[in-house]
Amino acid sequence: MRFMMLVIPKGYASAAPGTLPDPKLVERMSKYNQSLTNAGVLLALDGLHPPSAGARVRFAGGKPAVTDGPFAEAKEVLGGYWMIQVKSKAEAIEWAKRAPMPDGDVIEIRQVQEMADFTPEIQKAAGPTRLGAQ
């Protein structure tokens, strides 16, 4: 089973563009990431620039409308993710518990949908695109 561990850093919704993580935290994260890789569970990971460096696209009335970040209405924004391969949700939680998170941060664990989770009709409709993506 694949799970995403989504990071919701405290106060990241209003972080200035160009905000970088604390080097000490990067060092601790690097060690944690290495432990995930050594165990063979880590599939991917990335950090996200603050919302002030992003945009939202709203689809209504047939015409997409773009709003630049930061997003005034957002309280919880994502700061990054890990994608892991484990045997159960409990195992995902155990890994997440070991993450060296700063005080007030939240990790949200979400199971990733696999093709096998869908009915044959949906699998057929979805086609091979996902597998074709590199």
Residue 109 buriedness (CB in 10 A; 0-12 / 13-18 / 19+) = middle
- Nearest to another protein of 16, 133 (CB atom): 133
CB of 29 to another protein, least distance (A): 10
The count of residues in the chain is 134
User: How many alpha carbons lie under 13 Å from residue 88 in its C-beta half-sphere?
Assistant: 3
CB of 108 to another protein, least distance (A): 5
CB of 87 to another protein, least distance (A): 14
CB of 68 to another protein, least distance (A): 9
Pairing assessment for the beta strands 55-60 and 63-68 based on DSSP bridges: antiparallel
10 Å Cβ neighbour count for 9?
A: 22
Of 114, 112, 96, the closest CA to residue 8 belongs to 96
